[in-house]
Copies of this chain bind each other. A is one copy, B any other.
Amino acid sequence: MYWKPDLESSEPVFRQIMRYFEERIIRGELSPGQSLPSERSLAEEIKVNRSTVSMAYDELRSTGLVRSVRGRGTHVSEDLWGVIPSRIPNWNLYTSKGAFLPGLPLDLRIREASNMPDIINLARSELSPDLFPVSDLQRLLGKMSLSIPLGYSDPRGARQLRETLVKHLGEQYDIHVDSDQILITTGAQQSLHLITQCLLAPGDSVVLEGPSYAYSLSLFTSAGLRLFQIPMDEYGLQPEEVVELYRRHKVRMVFVNPTYHNPTGTTLTPQRRKRLIEICSELRLPIVEDDAYSALTLDDTITPPSPLVTVEGGYNNVIYLGSMSKTVAPGLRIGWVVGPSAVIQRLADAKEQMDLGTSAISQELARTFIESEWTTHIKKLQKNLSIRRDCMISALGRLDNKNISWTVPNGGYHVWCRTNLTAKDSDILEIGIRHKILFVPGGLYGAQRGYIKFSFARATIEEIEEGIHRFGEILKL
């Protein structure tokens, strides 16, 4: 085989491999029944990871072009006639276009393993369904008045919800803005997508905390952004480092998650918040502040610092992202962007072209929930999450193992652990899966080897105890 994938190409290697075979099959150079090389031998020959070849073969199988039979390997389908060529669009050629890259292999593997029976999932940053305020939502739905606009409406979102948010953000977060500075989105994921599509261009550099959950988001890489890490310590990111990064990489935007950071659990100190705004103001560098967790303080004695956007100069420099996914339920698909009104208008124009706005029903449910249930619900949630956190911390303590250390987070979902594990992240993940325990190896978030993120939001108390116990067994290997 003379062909080699082009490693410099913007087209993912697995897709190049897939296309290589697809074209040969369609042209008849590989005939029905003919064998493809084994995954391992092909991987060696063209010098790529075996998992890359696996992905390519998976795709080929999904198109019906090839089949795999145990003991016989992978071969071109015998009944190709009617499957693909002559009278069907080459959908593959179409679906390989466009700007959406597949997820990272580690992330895909975690998702896949989530469905395995008896596995304990401490990887997922999602509330346990029993923590969703189902009966509150049910009651609010029951008395919801549909005297709200049900037609096409303001792409910035329902006026009533934006007005409720003006009040809510003022009271709960000390953020004081007008309703034209708020855009309602289908969750923070859409907020980020809009920002990458409207305010950035392929090749732009963005700095974010190192580590950051955002490294695992394929939406950044799909947008062609170059990501650089701002070093962190226990007080959060180190603002002075932004200056040097800016010089070296012509940074265009700062993305941060300053309060109860995912994955480290740290909170940026007020001094550093002030300094970060000063530096970014000086450099005229916009900041995106992801504030998914700050409502979830887990200790009565603690009040987190006000959001970055409220620091002097913040309203001019910061685009603030909020969401109900981590505090109420992801299924509502309600998030918001707060920023200068010109920026909000621009994002709203784009959102209008993308989907003509967010569900009126979801927006109204979100509005009534914030108006009537927020305070009680958040208190209850804080209490439940703090029980889960304490349980995880106790379980870690009971391991009585010097090879793992952690910091107790004051809020959010996550415990970030440093271990002496030296294997590759993908190997550690596989060992975990064999022990029926799922966690996030730090590498997925850009950390060095040996770091592990556990989430305590989704699992039950029993699962947390058993899960950490199983992890202890892994540490002893």
Contact = CB atoms under 8 A, between A and B. Distances in A.
Q: 8 tightest A-B contacts by CB? A: A331-B360, A150-B331, A87-B281, A190-B355, A359-B362, A95-B346, A186-B355, A150-B329
Given A27-B340, A63-B342, A138-B145, 17 more contacts: A62-B341, A62-B342, A86-B284, A87-B284, A88-B281, A88-B316, A90-B284, A94-B199, A95-B342, A100-B198, A141-B142, A186-B358, A186-B359, A189-B356, A193-B354, A332-B360, A354-B354
Nearest to A92: B342
Contact of A137 (B146, B200, B353): B146
A52 interface: no
Contacts of A325: 152
Contacts of A63: 342
6 contacts: A62-B342, A87-B282, A91-B286, A100-B349, A186-B359, A193-B353
Interface of A: 26-29, 62-63, 85-92, 94-95, 97-100, 102, 126-127, 129, 132, 134, 137-138, 141-146, 148-153, 185-187, 189-190, 193, 197-201, 217-219, 222, 252, 281-282, 284-286, 313, 316-317, 325, 329-334, 340-343, 345-346, 349-350, 353-362, 365
Contacts of A342: 27-29, 62-63, 91-92, 95
Nearest to A87: B281
Nearest to A127: B151
A241 B187 CA distance: 44
Given A286-B89, A358-B186, A330 B141 contact: no
Nearest to A357: B333
A96 to B, nearest CB: 9
Nearest to A97: B201
Nearest to A138: B146
A89 B186 contact: no
A353 B151 contact: no
Given A141-B146, A331-B153, A313 B190 contact: no
Contact of A151 (B90, B129, B284, B349): B129
Contacts of A357: 333
Residue with the highest number of chain B CB atoms closer than 10 Å, among A26, A98, A145, A190: A98
Interface centre among A193, A349, A353 (most CB of B within 10 A): A353
A330 B151 contact: yes
A354 B190 contact: yes
B150 A129 contact: yes
Contacts of A129: 149-151
B126 A151 contact: yes
B98 A199 contact: yes
